[in-house]
Structures are given as structure tokens and as C-alpha cells.
């Protein structure tokens, strides 16, 4: 047993810490406590209101086997000492990765020493509200409240919101980091023309930056893609990690989402990118630049059945052919595998463009109906009226590599339509 010879000078009285020959567990190497005896040299105590130490304050309702957190704050004072606490509870402060940073023995608020009728006191368990106080650690983002007697976790406290609020209010605290994270740009690109039932890629590019003053910091960017009725998107959102985002070094990231038209018409897709620091202790003083938004409008066309040179198969065309006839068929939903009904009599002749797929989809580039009108007749003899169109083949132009011809246009009710048919180029 180690015997400490250190004496403690108390109230100016030089006494052995215990009158008997007692070894004391005083910490070694520290100054002799309370050794001042001379008023002329002893320090006059000063207020410690500028003490930067803070505390976590967790209020909870405790039952026999659980605790429901009612409030979590960062106290503006230091935490009381837990030096003398019995290990009824173990408070585990954990970082964002759930690694334990600190284990603190704590009194259990449920334990009450109650005076008894005959004097003396009895220790009883009384569930109810209680307060837990620990030292503040900005790296700790959760607190596990473990009941040592019962051997079970009573609750896990999310400390991050309290830390975030505190650091936002006190960015100058040495434990906090101040970094103005910003979404500098968000762009969405992709086909602006598609057909119902088809899926097209939506490309999103987001640039984020740390505008300082502190850094680098780790951040997460969330992209939320919202779509109206008539289109769907997969996935609906995405996240990416801006690791080590340093001041003056923006980071850019690209993502791709699949957009599918489900109803004809014009639909606007909205992409919102939001940046947030990974750690609660990072205070982002400017919330207004944490998001960026962009939109892309997609024209979802009705897919139609196009029959080039009705009555022939496999639709022979010649590169020098002056007029190529073709019919846009009137169909009901599900007919010929088409998802939406189409009435060819409603085609606006002036809107018709005929050509190859890429040019029509990308820029609506094609040749108009040669006569400026839609010739109505029941081409497929199914009892409804179809629309016959004529295209100037040499102007399309049809080449030896042409394998299909397509038509794009709008109907009198403003909906786009689009369809293609295979062709075989013959000498």
C-alpha cells in the first residue's frame, strides 16, 4: 500500500490528512491544497464567469427500464463533477461513428434516499423526471445511458441537434468549427423530349464550396429530384460526400437519374441540392446558400403507330424517292402495344415533321408534310380514320444507312406525338 507523506494544509492548519497514520489517495504532484496562510500573499478569488467549459444537459422521464428524453441542451456552465458519483449509471459519450469517447459514472436520478419514520434513511427507486449533466464535448454526438444495475441501456440520446444549435449560436467556441458551406451551382441536363413509357437519363451536376473561415470539413450533399404527375424518377434522391471540403477548393459531382414519362404533356422536373456538414459541431452561419435548385422540362409525347408505305412490308424506300407516303394510325390504348390512345384526325398538319429519330427528338428537325395537310382515310381498315402523310424523301434525306423513319408533331389539343417505322433502303 502506498503511503503518501504529503500533508494537507487546511484552513492554515498544518495537519496530517487524518490524525491516525493514514495513507491518502491524494493525487501526486499537485500543489498542496489550501496551503495559504498569509493574507498578504494569498490569492483573492476572481469570478470565473468567463470559464469556457460547457455541459450537456439531458432531461428525461425515467421508468424502470427506459428513459424518454424530453429535452437536450448545451448548458452554458461547466458540468458538475462526477468524481464522487456512484456508478449507478454509465453515461457513454460517443462520436458520430458510435465510438465511445468518454465513460462517466453517474448517479441514477431514480435513486432517492428517503428519510424513514425512525430516523435514518432508506434508498428507494422512484421513477420520474431526472436530469443528467456531463461535460460538453463537441465531438460527442450521442449519449448512451446505461443502467449498470440492470445491465441495460435506458436510452440513447441524440446530442447532435443541441450541439448544432449551440455552435451556431457560439461559433467562436474553441470546440466549434465555423464554415460557410455553399452550393455554388446545380445543373440538370437531358432529353427534353420523350414519349410516354420511355425512360431518359437526367444528368445532375452540383458544385459545392466551403466559403470559410474554417476548414477543411466533411460534408454531405443531398440531391432531391421532385417530379409532377406524369413522370417518375428513379432514384428520387441521392447523396454524395464532399470529403475534406477546403476553403477555396470547390468540389463538383455528377449524378444520373432515370426519368420515365407516364402521361403525355409537358412536365417540369426540379432538382434541389443541399449541403450539410457531417459533424454537428460545424456551424454554417449562412443557411441561405446551402441549397441550389434547377429545373428541366420534358415534353412527353404520345407514342403512335407509324406505317411507312402502308400495304408494303418491309417498307422499301429509295434514296432518290421524291415522296414517301406514311400513315399515323388511330389507335386505342393498348392497341399495337401502345399505352395511350391516339386520334390521328387531331394531328395539326403544320406541326408535322418527318425525319430520323435523333434529329426529331433532339431538335424537332425534319421535313414538313409535303402538302401541308393530313389526308384522312382508314388505312388499316380497322374502322377508324387514320392520317396519311407525305414526306419529301430526298430532303429528309433518306440515305443508304437509313433504317427507320419517324414522325413528330402535335395534336389540336396540344399534345405531342411521336412514332417510327422500319424501312429498307433499296437501290
Partner 1 sequence: MAPPTHHPTSRHRLLRSCLLLLLAGSTLTVALGTSPAHGVNPTNVRVVVERVEERGCTDTFDGSDFYSRITIDGHATDFGEIEDEDEISPNWVAEQSVDADVTTSVPVVVKISDSDGFLNFSDDECDLTAGPGNDLHLTVDLAAVAGCTVSGDVSGACDSTFTTTGGGDESVFVRFRVEVDQDPVTQPPDKTVVRCLQSPLWPQPGDDVTITAEALDPALHVGDTVQDTSTGAGPPLVDRTVTADRLEIWVDDKSGPDQVVNTAKTATYTIHNVAAGDLVYSCKAVVGDHESFTGWRRMRVGAPASGSAIPVLMTGGRANRVDIVLVPDGDDYTGPGDAAFETAAANVIKGAYFGEGYFLERQQGFNFWIADKTGDSEVPKAGGGVDCSPQGPSDWATAYTWADTGAILHANNFRDCASNGLFTSEPTSLGTVLHETGHAPFGLTDEYCCDGGYWENRPNPTLFDTQAECQADAPSLGRVAGDCRSITDTRPDPDKTWWTSEPTPNDLMNGDRTPPQAGDMRRIDWYLSECLDGKC
DSSP 367: B
Three-state SS for 395?
Answer: helix
CB-wise, 125 or 287, nearer to partner 1?
A: 125
What is the distance between the alpha carbons of residues 345 and 330, in angstroms, rounded to a whole number? 8
Q: What mask, x for binding partner 1 by CB under 8 A, covers residues 33 to 72?
A: xx-xxxxxxxxxxxxxx-x-x-x-x-x-----------x-
C-alpha cell at 288: 441561405
Q: Does 109 bind partner 1 (CB under 8 A)?
A: yes
Nearest-approach distance from CB 13 to partner 1, in angstroms: 5
The DSSP secondary structure of 24-44, one letter per residue, reads --PPTTSPPTT----TTTSPP
DSSP 358: H
CB-wise, 26 or 289, nearer to partner 1?
A: 26
Return the residue of 69, 87, 160, 246 that touches partner 1, per CB under 8 A. Answer: 87
| Range list of β-strands (E), 126-281 | 128-135, 142-147, 152-158, 177-190, 193-195, 199-213, 217-226, 231-234, 237-245, 251-261, 265-277
CB-wise, 24 or 240, nearer to partner 1?
A: 24
CB-wise, 10 or 101, nearer to partner 1?
A: 10
- The contacts of residue 45 (CB under 8 Å, 6+ apart) are none
Within 10 Å of residue 249's Cβ, how many Cβ atoms? 11
Q: What are the residues facing 236 on neighbouring strands?
A: none
Return the residue of 66, 107, 170, 375 that touches partner 1, per CB under 8 A. Answer: 107
CB-wise, 116 or 239, nearer to partner 1?
A: 116
CB-wise, 75 or 197, nearer to partner 1?
A: 75
Nearest-approach distance from CB 6 to partner 1, in angstroms: 9
Q: Does 8 bind partner 1 (CB under 8 A)?
A: yes
Contact 419, 331 (CB under 8 A): no
Looking at 105-113, 185-193, 209-217, 255-263, which segment touches partner 1 (CB under 8 A)? 105-113
C-alpha cell at 244: 475534406
Q: Does 333 bind partner 1 (CB under 8 A)?
A: no
C-alpha cell at 27: 493525487
Nearest-approach distance from CB 4 to partner 1, in angstroms: 10
113-132 residues near partner 1, rule: CB under 8 A: 113-123, 126, 130-131
Contact 241, 206 (CB under 8 A): no
Return the residue of 66, 75, 199, 357 that touches partner 1, per CB under 8 A. Answer: 75
Q: Is the dihedral of CA 345, 351, 356, 361 positive or negative?
A: negative
Q: Does 151 bind partner 1 (CB under 8 A)?
A: no
**How far lies 333's CA from each of 304, 419, 421, in Å?**
10, 15, 19
Three-state SS for 72?
Answer: strand
CB-wise, 43 or 427, nearer to partner 1?
A: 43
Q: Does 133 bind partner 1 (CB under 8 A)?
A: yes
**How far lies 347's CA from each of 21, 375, 416, in Å?**
110, 10, 9
CB-wise, 124 or 426, nearer to partner 1?
A: 124
Distance of alpha carbon 9 from its chain centroid, rounded? 61
CB-wise, 93 or 261, nearer to partner 1?
A: 93
Nearest-approach distance from CB 20 to partner 1, in angstroms: 3
CB-wise, 44 or 333, nearer to partner 1?
A: 44
Task: Compute how many residues bind partner 1; rule: CB under 8 A.
Answer: 77
Return the residue of 61, 66, 79, 385 that touches partner 1, per CB under 8 A. Answer: 79
Q: Does 103 bind partner 1 (CB under 8 A)?
A: no
C-alpha cell at 133: 449533466
DSSP 52: -
Q: What is the helix (H) or strand (E) element at residue 8, kind and residue range?
A: strand 8-10
What is the distance between the alpha carbons of residues 43 and 31, in angstroms, rounded to a whole number? 14
Nearest-approach distance from CB 99 to partner 1, in angstroms: 24
CB-wise, 37 or 63, nearer to partner 1?
A: 37
9-38 residues near partner 1, rule: CB under 8 A: 10-13, 15, 17-18, 20-27, 30-31, 33-34, 36-38
Looking at 91-99, 109-117, 202-210, 312-320, which segment touches partner 1 (CB under 8 A)? 109-117
Q: What mask, x for binding partner 1 by CB under 8 A, covers residues 168 to 187?
A: --------------------
Nearest-approach distance from CB 177 to partner 1, in angstroms: 23
Amino acid at each position: 500500500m502506498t503511503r503518501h507523506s504529503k500533508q494537507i494544509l487546511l484552513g492554515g492548519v498544518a495537519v496530517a490528512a487524518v490524525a491516525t497514520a493514514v495513507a491518502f489517495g491524494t493525487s501526486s504532484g499537485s500543489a498542496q491544497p489550501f496551503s495559504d496562510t498569509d493574507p498578504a500573499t494569498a490569492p483573492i478569488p476572481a469570478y470565473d464567469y468567463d470559464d469556457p467549459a460547457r455541459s450537456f444537459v439531458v432531461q428525461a422521464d425515467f421508468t424502470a427500464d427506459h428513459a424518454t428524453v424530453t429535452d437536450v441542451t448545451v448548458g452554458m456552465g461547466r458540468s458538475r463533477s462526477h468524481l464522487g458519483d456512484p456508478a449507478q449509471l454509465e453515461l457513454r459519450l460517443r462520436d458520430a461513428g458510435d465510438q465511445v469517447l468518454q465513460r462517466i459514472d453517474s448517479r441514477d436520478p431514480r435513486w432517492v434516499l428517503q428519510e424513514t419514520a425512525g430516523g435514518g434513511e432508506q434508498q428507494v427507486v422512484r421513477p420520474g423526471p431526472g436530469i443528467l449533466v456531463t461535460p460538453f464535448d463537441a465531438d460527442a454526438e450521442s449519449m448512451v445511458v446505461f443502467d449498470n444495475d440492470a445491465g441495460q441501456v435506458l436510452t440513447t440520446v441524440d446530442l447532435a441537434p443541441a450541439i448544432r444549435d449551440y455552435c451556431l449560436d457560439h461559433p467562436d467556441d474553441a470546440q466549434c468549427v465555423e464554415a460557410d458551406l455553399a452550393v455554388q451551382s446545380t445543373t440538370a441536363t437531358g432529353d427534353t423530349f420523350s414519349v410516354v413509357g420511355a425512360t431518359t437519363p437526367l444528368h445532375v451536376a452540383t458544385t459545392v464550396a466551403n466559403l470559410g473561415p474554417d476548414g477543411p470539413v466533411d460534408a454531405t450533399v443531398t440531391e432531391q429530384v421532385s417530379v409532377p404527375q406524369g413522370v417518375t424518377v428513379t432514384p428520387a434522391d441521392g447523396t454524395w460526400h464532399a470529403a475534406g471540403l477546403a476553403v477555396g477548393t470547390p468540389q463538383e459531382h455528377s449524378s444520373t437519374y432515370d426519368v420515365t414519362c407516364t402521361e403525355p404533356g409537358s412536365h417540369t422536373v426540379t432538382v434541389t441540392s443541399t449541403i450539410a456538414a457531417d459533424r454537428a459541431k460545424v456551424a454554417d452561419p449562412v443557411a441561405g446558400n446551402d441549397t441550389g435548385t434547377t429545373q428541366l422540362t420534358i415534353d412527353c409525347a404520345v407514342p403512335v403507330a407509324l406505317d411507312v408505305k402502308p400495304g408494303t412490308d418491309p417498307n422499301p424506300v429509295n434514296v432518290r424517292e421524291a415522296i414517301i407516303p406514311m400513315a399515323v394510325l388511330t389507335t386505342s390504348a393498348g392497341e399495337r402495344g401502345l399505352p395511350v390512345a391516339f386520334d390521328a384526325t387531331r394531328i395539326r398538319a403544320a406541326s408535322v415533321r418527318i425525319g430520323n429519330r435523333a434529329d426529331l427528338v433532339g431538335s424537332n428537325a425534319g421535313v414538313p408534310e409535303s402538302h401541308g395537310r393530313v389526308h384522312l382515310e382508314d388505312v388499316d381498315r380497322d374502322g377508324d380514320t387514320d392520317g396519311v402523310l407525305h414526306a419529301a424523301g430526298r430532303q429528309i434525306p433518306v440515305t443508304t444507312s437509313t433504317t427507320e423513319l419517324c414522325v413528330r408533331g402535335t395534336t389540336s389539343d396540344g399534345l405531342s406525338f411521336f412514332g417510327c417505322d422500319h424501312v429498307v433502303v433499296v437501290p
